[in-house]
Amino acid sequence: MSNQHSINIVPNNGDMAVEARGLVKTFGDNRAVDGVDLNVRAGSIYGVLGPNGAGKTTTIRMLATLLRPDGGSASIFGHDVVKEPQIVRQLIGVTGQYASVDESLSATENLIIFSRLLGLSRTEARRKASELLEEFGLTEAAKRPLKNFSGGMRRRLDLAASLIAQPPLIFLDEPTTGLDPRTRNQMWDTIRRLVKSGSTVLLTTQYLQEADELADRIAVIDRGHVVAEGTVNELKESVGTSSLHLNIENLQHMQDARLIVDRVLKVESAVSAEGGKVLAPMADADRVADVLIALREAGIQLAEFSVQKPTLDEVFLTITGHGVEGDAAKASDKSEQEREVRV
């Protein structure tokens, strides 16, 4: 691998890839980003998690020097995004920036062009292109023109193109939104490998599972504010309950099972998104025995049960209150133990 084209600007601050203080961006009277602080340690994967319109893309665009902040400050490896944008741009890669690749050219040809633009020799460019296509599972499609690519293939080529320069910090704005599960998993593997090879990744996602799978630390952002920050485990612990998951053998018993769970644990249980599972918050894992005995007495058989830390879905709903809004007042009357969590 040639190093002669790699970044020759020494990061000012080896430790922190991103430091943002009180970042603000307003559009008219909409404070899209309203005082965001972020600290991303070099060599880590940092997840910014939030629903549509939370301010994720706007935050990334300010950090990537694509949008000027209206307030606050941010630096990338110690370089101020407003005062030293040229330097910052050489330290970062942003997916999406190569959207205007040539549709009639093949994937290989596109990657070779980008490599040549970045100063790689013809031989290096060809090797880099084939390396990246292999890495992203696009070898078979290498010779096909881009106009025949699926959305997932384009996304992967886009990420591949942004990696030619091997930037120390990579911004991935919703890297897997709309991808099928298999392609999503490939993307996750690629992101993990990037970080193993020394890059820092800041990614945004609406997928709680994605943040859970990938991120060392997470900021939960809602309406322009960071509403929670920490490791996945810290966030889960902040919810303060464990979670009982019951797979009911016979789906016709679901309703009865929920009634029993609710009565014994004095909670309101929920049914998992994919159905077939009763989920209930628990303050005290010891109570699980009472539930199992009550279910057996009612003749309800379980296929499986587990007591888990809360999922990020549960964490998010607990922190932001979204999705439980109709029940918010009711929930606040309840004790910690009886907290309502919907999935």
In the complex, which residues of this chain contact Mg ion (CB under 5 A)? 56-57
Cross-strand pairs, 21:
73
| Nearer Cβ to ligand ATP (33/120) | 33
Min CB(342)–Mg ion separation in Å: 25
Residues making contact with ligand ATP (CB under 6 A):
27, 30, 32, 50, 52-58, 206
| Nearer Cβ to ligand ATP (164/220) | 220
Picked from ligand ATP, Mg ion, none, the partner binding residue 32 (CB below 5 to 8 A depending on kind) is ligand ATP
Q: Are 92 and 171 in contact (CB under 8 A)?
A: yes
Picked from Mg ion, ligand ATP, none, the partner binding residue 200 (CB below 5 to 8 A depending on kind) is none
Min CB(245)–ligand ATP separation in Å: 28
| Nearer Cβ to ligand ATP (36/246) | 36
| Nearer Cβ to Mg ion (57/183) | 57
Picked from Mg ion, ligand ATP, none, the partner binding residue 148 (CB below 5 to 8 A depending on kind) is none
Helix (H, G, I), strand (E, B) or coil at 147: helix
| Nearer Cβ to ligand ATP (55/281) | 55
**Cα–Cα dist 228/219, whole Å:** 6
Q: Residue 325's CB: how many other CB atoms inside 10 A?
A: 11
What helix, strand, coil percent values describe the chain, rounded to 5? Answer: 40, 25, 35
Strands 225-231 and 217-222: antiparallel
**Cα–Cα dist 188/214, whole Å:** 7
Min CB(215)–ligand ATP separation in Å: 16
Picked from ligand ATP, Mg ion, none, the partner binding residue 128 (CB below 5 to 8 A depending on kind) is none
Exposure class string for 245-267: b at 16+ Cβ within 10 A, else e: bbebeeeebbeebbebbeebbeb
